[in-house]
Structure 1
């Protein structure tokens, strides 16, 4: 309990938790506009993601490496998952696709690039496990191939192309889930030594007691589900009033808000010269979104969405995913980093963001 109270006082992201009851009250009393609810719900999601992340670490610390790693992998992107499911249920399939692509690109370019920049400004050269980075970037490249195939089929096919693309997407989704599960077996069991840190120094852990973590985990998950529904309800109207395209909201805003807690952890680790942790968080989150969340959305769409979702992404999103993957693969293959590599990753991400901001 002492550590929990201490973290509440010392962690600024938790202070935003005051927006959670504000959003709920305004939603139930209809006391704010769509734009206000859109902004407030974004601010409310950030601390909820932080609570969820810390609670997951607290539970995982008591369950052993294998179960703990599986728990972290499963719940690591629960915030984005809740938003995606809500949007899918309301038929906002284009928003879901843009958010999936944006989450992968944001984590692999913006989060990783910012971590490299922050760490590089304090340490001249930082080392990390290049084998881990290579495996993660290889998985992202496989995902690019998996998404490009149905996209190309959708562009060149005629007649029953929608049905054909749907079947292809469903089959690829199953395959991606199998690859994800085998990846967990590979990284947590058979070849766990491949993913060990280059640093011999142990990582400082300030985890919450397991009973508090479980309670916080449940409350955070419920609140995230409610606030996500409020956010999705107002996203279209608010984005239009604010002059933002749905693609920009999905690709940039939702991934940054959903990954805010993970970003803070990655940046903090980089400042402590624990770059392996930063690389693991950034690239691991990207891989999880691509191999687990994306195919799961395809499967769930057959049960909760007005129409099934396929893996045919708009051409621009596919190329952004491909170029992001190639950029990460080219800049992370040495096992060494400087601040300038971070600048390069952020620059590529900024190009994508600027493009989507000025597109309808």
Structure 2
């Protein structure tokens, strides 16, 4: 009953934002309102739309079962950022796209996990989650970020652009195939091994929306996000000049937070309810989607645009992502957490944020 009341309140909140934000996005774009104002309006509107996409996906996952639910999460879990990144690639902002991928990894592993551990740890002195899932995900994180992202940078030092991009395409295909294999492993061949036998799975969940209502809402929200995202991308250059921000900072901090806002809020709420399995899955699972699915897909999609995007990050981005993976792995591998571990992750995020701002 409490969850239903919370969903109603959240829906009213998101609906109120959309009722104001979406018309303002259209009117402001047509009337050429100040760019900085429109940047704020677009960001708020996308956050509200992401909230509806998240709820629609969750409802469909409950209705359709775990296998299709996993596919839906893989497809729509990072749909907002994927859409923003596609329009950024179209505009030739390759640096912003790579930085936003970096920001998603840092945001999910340090900011989202950190806030979840910290907020949950304030209410509960000790929280636990599935240690086998944690170790499984840690291995994939080590591979996808440290191996698959570092290798192109190392080899690109002795390659020309053509060979570097060919290497990026090959790595991208391998990452996508391994990610699909990981879904198969978790949801089909080893589903029983990774099934959580606790209070979170014995509860009977009722979908917030029916199947077709969820599909319609998801389609409309995705179309609206595509429209607003294209307009948002065109504000980046002027906003960067106005505030003295670099494209790297916009990608790492702004785009990453806006694109994943709905997931961030959900993880923190689940942690506060002591549902740490779900909170950790959102934080780490979303990171794996970014590293093993979204980033490779963007590399392949960039073939359609004048400026292609190799899977080559800057040295600060690589070091930041590798550090985040190693720190999260050390903290999460025991299957337990507390508020101090959350504070440690948050401290790392803010240190890196300051570095990217001053870079």
1:321 equivalent in alignment to 2:358: no
- Deviation of 1:194 after TM superposition, in Å, equals 3.7
Q: Is the 8 A contact 1:104 1:321 kept in 2?
A: yes
Alpha-carbon offset, residue 136 of structure 1 = 1.4
CA distance in 1, matches of 2:290, 2:78: 7
Deviates more, 1:284-293 or 1:67-76: 67-76
TM-score normalised according to structure 2 size:
0.94
Residue 185 of structure 1 and its aligned partner are, at CA, apart by: 0.3
Q: Are 1:65 and 2:70 an aligned pair? A: no
Counterpart Cα distance in 1 of 2:5 and 2:91: 38
1:259: how far off? 1.2
| Structure 2 partner of 1:346 | 346
SS at match of 1:61: helix
Paired residues of 2:14 and 2:52 also in contact (CA < 8 A): no
Deviation at 1:150, TM superposition (A): 1.1
Number of the residue aligned with 1:175: 174
RMSD of the alignment, in Å? Answer: 1.8
Hey, what's the Cα distance between the residues in 1 that align with 2:44 and 2:211? 27
Show structure 1 runs of 4+ deviating over 6 A.
Answer: 3-6
How far 1:205 moved relative to its partner? 5.0
Name the counterpart of 1:297: 298
How far residue 99 of structure 1 moved from its aligned partner, in angstroms, is: 0.4
TM alignment of 1:93-112, pairs within 5 A:
93-112=94-113
1:57-97 C-alpha deviation (Å, 9 max, x unpaired): 12222212211221122111100010010101111101000
**Quick check: 1:128–1:197 contact (8 Å CA) kept in 2?**
no
How do residues 213-292 of structure 1 correspond to structure 2 at under 5 angstroms?
Answer: 213-292=214-293
Residue in structure 2 matched with residue 114 of structure 1 by the alignment: 115
CA offset at residue 13 of structure 1?
4.3
Q: Deviations over 1:288-321 (max 9, x none)?
A: 0000000001101111x21221111101101111
By how many angstroms is 1:197 displaced? Answer: 3.0
Q: Mark the CA change 1:123 to 1:6 in structure 2 (over 3 Å): closer, same or farther.
A: closer
In the TM superposition, residue 264 of structure 1 has moved relative to its aligned partner by 1.5
Q: Which residue in the other structure is 1:19 paired with?
A: 21
**3-state secondary structure, aligned to 1:208:** coil
Residue-pair matches, total: 352
Residue pair 2:49, 2:225 contacting (<8 A) in 1 also: yes
TM-superposed deviation, 1:154? 2.0
Unaligned runs of 5+ in 2: none
Between the aligned partners of 2:5 and 2:345, the Cα distance in structure 1 is 36
How far, CA to CA, are the matches of 1:337 and 1:86 in structure 2? 38
For 1:195 and 1:349, the matched residues in 2 are separated by 30
Q: 1:159-206: per-residue Cα shift (whole Å, max 9, x none)?
A: x51111111111101100111110110111111234333633445555
Contact 1:198 1:276 in 2 (8 A): no
Structure 1 gap segments, 5+ residues each? none
Residue pair 2:103, 2:251 contacting (<8 A) in 1 also: yes
- Measure the CA separation in 2 of the matches of 1:29 and 1:212: 34
Residues 1:347 and 1:274: Cα distance change in structure 2 (over 3 Å): same
Structure 1 match to 2:132: 131
